[in-house]
Chains A and B, each alone.
Chain A
Amino acid sequence: MTLQTEPISINFGPQHPSTHGVFRMRVTFDGELIVDVEPVFGYLHRGSEKLAEERTYTQVVTLTDRMDYVASMTNNQAYILSVEKLAGIVPEPRGVWLRMIAAELQRIASHLVATGFLIQDLGALGTPLMYAMREREKILDLFEMMCGARITNSYLRPGGVFADAPDYFWQALRQFMDDIPGQVDEMEELLGSSEIILQRTKSVAVLKPGDMVNAGITGPMLRAGGVDWDLRHRNSYDYYDRVQFDRPLHHASDNFARYWVRIQEMRESIKIVEQCIKAIEPGPVRPKSVPFLVRPPKGDSYVGIECPKGELGFYLVSDGGVSPYRCHVRAPSLMNLTLLKEMLVGTYMADMFVSFGSTDINMGEVDR
């Protein structure tokens, strides 16, 4: 006699503690095995791209903050670079160095959150997450010194940044730079020395590098598959061609590799910030010639940067007015979800949110 069984489908989200926002998945299980995944998103849609059409180029910066609210600085950076390209603005060197420092600090903060939430998703009751958040808190304090805001920074402006960092920022930054390598080591030890974490993450949710490239996946996820694709190195926007850094690669392309790459990238970011501190010189932080209302000539521009999650690109079309005619965002979080089904099908229910979290998505950016 055979037992008649049938797959059971469960709806996860949008109100669920582990969906990293308001994501929803309709998952079909055969026992504990996942046989089908149907992602549903759009619960956090705020129409940022449309709103951008009615704001001046400077005002749009505040909208970009709220897309990926875990990495606002890099969002600012991608948008500002696109505006600068569109309007032909040459930024001031000090402004560029400052925004590179901000962007790399933001990368560390974002990766810390990603790593902390991995261990949270694995079932730890938040203690490792709190340790990651403690370090992120220091970075947010630094941002507060730079621009007065912690999350929604709006620090960057066409041509540089809106204000120079105060003197005490540099002391605090020095202190932070002395502390953070030890904390990253601690984080890596936590990830690499816990047998449970290794057993849970290794060889789970493996993606093929070729599939990832075809699906448009970028960022640490792609580098975890051994594909050497880092826009800081490929396109070298800002002054990334003047700093030395490595691109950490892992070849396993599983959950562990994704987090390993993030940890290593934190180290590279620390290196970059150190070099920026050395290279920065006194001077204006944005050119006087940039008017309050930027009016780029007719045309369009696309700049993609390496944000903590992958390639973040802003496509702007100008009709010569004070606000963009069209603004489109290439959101890495959304693109990285493309292979969600391939990733999850065949794994267990317990690994579902770990794999989902390993894409390090942010719903603010997915839905915009």
Chain B
Amino acid sequence: MVLTGAEIVIRCLQEEKVEYLFGYPGGAVLHIYDELFKQEKVRHVLVRHEQAAVHAADAYARSTERVGCALVTSGPGVTNAVTGIATAYMDSIPMVIISGQVPTAVIGQDAFQEVDTVGVTRPCVKHNMLVKDVKDIAATIKKAFHIAASGRPGPVLVDIPKDVTAQKCEFVYPKTVSMRSYNPVVKGHTGQIKKAVQLLLEAKRPMVYAGGGVILSDSAEKLTKLVKALGFPITNTLMGLGGFPATEKQSLGMPGMHGTYEANMAMQYSDVLLAIGTRFDDRVIGNPAHFAQVARKIIHIDIDPSSISKRVKVDVPIVGNVGDVLDEMIKLVEGTSERPDAEALSTWWKQIDEWRARDCMKYKNSDEIIKPQFVIQKLWEVTKGDAFITSDVGQHQMWAAQYYKFDKPRRWLNSGGLGTMGVGMPYAMGCQLAHPGSPVACVTGEASIQMNIQELSTCKQYRLPIKIVNLNNRYLGMVRQWQEFFHGNRYSESYMDSLPNFAKLAEAYGHVGLEIDKPSDVEGALREAFKRKNDLVFLDFKIDQTENVYPMVQGGKGLTEMILSAEDL
């Protein structure tokens, strides 16, 4: 069948079973939009800014097992999308972004809305490709989806000049992809896996440290099975929350800069550390030299060889897909009667319980003023711990991660790597579309939410009943906290004057807005919001202006050098 390039693009997306395409039209993609108009299988979601399109597609991928898809025009369409692409890249989210380009004849001539898209996006994509011939569109898109979803996932961009979308050729969608230069390892090395299991069985102070790789490979069940069979303590990183049920006793909470005391202590003083789908990043282990002071054996499972021994030397590296490796490990553990030394394990647990008894997550609640931690705890109660929670970036993000106990994977969507303020609402949009009927809440702050506030309009258009939990402290909270701790209380540009009336703003967009300033009203407001199944409700919580996130490990400090509360300052 002879089709135009634009028809081919849409046919490819249909072949890939793309349910939602998040995008924004413009000159270079007009042919593609024309073809979108003529069909119904791929549903387009019109955002108000291209950054939000990419974030929403990213959230669609994070909350499902599918590849997210976005469509933007050339020039500013692409540059607006860059933040979204970089966000997805840092968190290894599978995504395909299709961008329009100026016609091939004028590429390089500084044409209207021209930008070197492949060049601009190169450092923040897993791969990108410029299609110069209509005959290459189908194979390129097939490749893009394959690369995005396989190995360590990531965003892949396909740049298509306008004239190519108008040319015609025979359409055949390739069934398979074969690339001599790209064959990610999936199966782990059997010998290494055996070595790892042996180390685990001989461990006296074992610790499991699981990251986003567990979520991305859909291995939460396998991980839970292995950890329960071994009876080991586990910590899940910011990207790995929900990889093991947070309400289980074996879960020590999150590690790292704002992790729990018990998780950080157990990470540091373990004798065997099993790291799964995680990358020892600076927000998790603090200073690598300090981390390396304590001798311990480290097993590291990761699909990306470059993640292994990048920041921390490991003893047993296993390159492979987390799920496949966990399968092998479970088989080996189940196949042997050998079990970890029960006495040593019980001594270790006693030590952990002592650390836990410090109750590092306690905070002083108040009857007068709303504490942000209290809002998140109530949010957890009201939603029975079963909502999809997205967050923006800052203090509220940490409070959400600390106080909302995630028992299931893919329920927590945040920008962990890049730390992009403004992701919260677009994430909630992508997530709500992927899970119609499920409760979706966006935990945000008055600063972050304003970075993509225009999307309230998109939410109206698509009737997305998300609940926005705005922890409004009239400060760039995390910046203010650092200025208080490390810059002599000089609050340089961290106070926001002239904030809008968010409740009224939400109403202006056609939504429901609530303002809450008393602790006694928190629960009622949340219940009211979730009762309104068809409305977007903007809950503007006026919270304590000076509340800080504890515990805290300062940047550059060791993992165990924690500030547990204001008294430690």
Query: Is chain B found bound to chain A in the same assembly?
Result: no
